[in-house]
Amino acid sequence: MADSAASLEYLHLVYLIPEGVHTDHQGVIKTTMRMTPP
């Protein structure tokens, strides 16, 4: 369950958030930038 949640969070960070500040599943604040899926 934890691995699945982490994977979903990763996808959320990489693909769904265009840009801005977001907190990952470990509580680390990171700035996300606009990315294009591979």
Quote the CA–CA distance of 38 and 29 in Å, as a whole number: 24
Higher pLDDT: 3 or 18? It is: 3
> Is the confidence at residue 16, as pLDDT, over 60?
no
Domain ranges of the chain: 2-32
pLDDT band for 28, please (50, 70, 90 cuts).
Answer: confident
Alpha helices in the chain (DSSP H): 2-11
d(CA 36, CA 17): 11
DSSP 3-state of 13? helix
d(Cα 2, Cα 20) in Å, to the nearest integer?
Answer: 25
